[in-house]
Amino acid sequence: HIYFKVIVSQQFTSTYSTGHIGYALVPMIARGAMLGPDQPVIINMLDIEPAAEALKGLKMELTDAAFPLLRGVVATTNVIEACKNVDIAVMLGGFPRKEGTERKDVISKNVLIYKAQASALEQHAAPNCKVLVVANPANTNALILKEFAPSIPEENITCLTRLDHNRALGQISEMLGVQVNDVKNVIIWGNHSSTQFPDVNHATVDTGNGLKHVRELVANDHWLSTEFITTMQQRGAAIIKARKQSSALSAASSACDHIRDWVIGTPKGTWVSMGVYSDGSYGIQPGLIYSFPVTCEKGEWSIVQGLNIDEFSRAKMDATAKELIEEKSLAYSCLN
């Protein structure tokens, strides 16, 4: 690629969203955090009409920041213009969840948004465009997008659970007092929601003296099976409570991680979590967008196979699948 063209949809302004994810994400992309330090980029920013002026202001800021890798910026409220020839699509736009609302409340609003964006991407994006859906309910929004963009290969449509994956690394590193970078191979199974199952059964820490299993190192095993899981499941809500806005910089940063590893590859011996189209691996119903452990190579992800699943994990993996099946049918009922 001479340059990568990235669309970032919505959530740039405080007036029309609670997220600010786009405002945090765009400079990260322009600095090379998403596609590498030598990869020039063009960024197309899409927002809704009432945000058009603010979007112009952001474009001015991008000019003012003089990012060496940034080869062009399009600021538009026209979805077709925004989707033209994009290689990467980061879908932040959605009806936002506020303190006290459940994710399910926003499904009906979001299915319509995702149906429209799917058509625009299908018709105007580059043929092998990679799509990352961030807006909640992320898994189900991605599924809707997939349904309405049948010519985009299903493996190209993913949703963000890297935020949860990174949160798990953060929790373990704090608990053990080790560098976050030395913690590897946590897994987020299922939905990016309060039913997700953060699994540390296969996670390791590089002690400097060889790899050790997280379960061996955490003295309080009970914590791993209880508080750790609930903290993870409620982390998004805790941030909304504290900030009165959902997470933004951590979401933006993990969106960069997601795309970077997908495009450039995961380091040898490590996996990451991505919401991907289920092929039935680990007994998860095909046709859901479900978070699995994946490795990536040459722009393609594959689900890590053959991991041992104990009874406790099985029940949690099935519970989050069940929620996704319910979300899927709710989304379809909104479409009819």
- Which residues of the shown chain bind ligand LMR in the complex (CB under 6 A)? 97, 103, 136, 163, 236, 239, 246-247
- Known binder of ligand: residue 242? no
Closest residue to ligand LMR, based on beta-carbon distance: 236
At closest approach, how far in Å is the CB of 200 from ligand LMR? 19
User: Of the listed 124, 192, 202, 222, which one is catalytic?
Assistant: 192
At closest approach, how far in Å is the CB of 163 from ligand LMR? 6
Residue whose CB is less far from ligand LMR, 211 or 238: 238
Residue whose CB is less far from ligand LMR, 13 or 136: 136
Q: Is 165 a catalytic residue?
A: no
At closest approach, how far in Å is the CB of 254 from ligand LMR? 10
Residue whose CB is less far from ligand LMR, 93 or 236: 236
- Which residues partner with 74 through β-bridges? 44
Q: Is 302:293 a contact under the CB 8 Å cutoff?
A: no
Residue whose CB is less far from ligand LMR, 176 or 237: 237
Rounded CA separation 36/16 (Å)? 31
Residue whose CB is less far from ligand LMR, 247 or 253: 247
b/e code 235-263 from CB counts within 10 Å (16+ = b): bbbebbeeeebbbbebbbbbbbbbbbbbb
Pairing of strands 88-91, 130-133: parallel
- Known binder of ligand: residue 260? no
At closest approach, how far in Å is the CB of 30 from ligand LMR? 23
**Crossing angle (nearest 10°) for helices 107-124 and 311-335:** 80
Element (H, E) at 334: helix 311-335
- Known binder of ligand: residue 97? yes
- Known binder of ligand: residue 134? yes
- Which residues partner with 206 through β-bridges? 211
- Known binder of ligand: residue 136? yes
List, in sequence order, every beta strand (DSSP E) within the chain: 4-9, 41-46, 70-76, 88-91, 130-133, 157-159, 183-184, 187-189, 197-199, 204-206, 211-213, 272-277, 289-297, 300-303
- Known binder of ligand: residue 71? no
Q: How many residues does the chain have?
A: 336
Q: Is 104:327 a contact under the CB 8 Å cutoff?
A: yes
Rounded CA separation 124/112 (Å)? 19
At closest approach, how far in Å is the CB of 19 from ligand LMR? 8
Binding residue numbers for NAD(+): 47, 110, 134-136
For the annotated catalytic residues, the residue numbers are: 192
- Annotated binding residues for substrate, written as ranges, equal 97, 103, 136, 167
Known binding residues: 47, 97, 103, 110, 134-136, 167
